[in-house]
A = this chain, B = another copy of it.
Amino acid sequence: MLSRKTKYGFKALSFLARREDNEPVQIEVISKAENISQKFLESILLTLKKAGYLGAKKGKGGGYYLLEKSRNTPIAAFYRVLEGPIAMVPCVSLNFYEKCEDCPDEDLCSVHNLMIQVRDNTLSIMENTSLSDFVKNQLT
């Protein structure tokens, strides 16, 4: 299941993408518009900024804004920053690979092979959807 962190992050990104101008928006505005706890959202936006997807401006008239490149960044990238691996088991993760200590042979493991299929399908969606798709389809 998706954590609230990721869900809120997606909604905040979607909110910022819907504004054509990339003017800074205060955390408070986003949190009220999307019904998100302000302090929690604060830490989420900071994470996205540190990851290089958002810009921020301090002081009056400040806030967070979408960096231009983020409009066409696949959702998969945001997901990895907020939630972690897209794969359901570390042994099929492309970006966070880890061997299972209990499994002698990955190629013969039923779970491994099933989860590769799931990963590939999920990836194909998340790599081919961007914030601009959300805007295009009027999604909030």
Residues of chain A whose beta carbon lies under 8 Å from any beta carbon of chain B = 1-2, 7, 10-11, 14, 34-36, 75, 84-85, 87-90, 101-103, 105, 108-111, 113-115, 117-118, 121-122, 124-126, 129, 134, 137-140
Contacts and interface: CB of A to CB of B under 8 A. Distances in A.
Q: How many copies does the complex hold?
A: 2
Given A102-B35, A114-B129, A117-B125, A108 B140 contact: yes
Contacts of A137: 113
Contacts of A115: 2
A19 to B, nearest CB: 15
5 contacts: A35-B101, A35-B102, A114-B129, A117-B125, A121-B121
A140 B109 contact: yes
A93 to B, nearest CB: 9
A34 B110 CA distance: 12
Given A11-B110, A35-B102, A121-B121, 6 more contacts: A1-B84, A7-B89, A7-B111, A14-B110, A75-B114, A108-B138
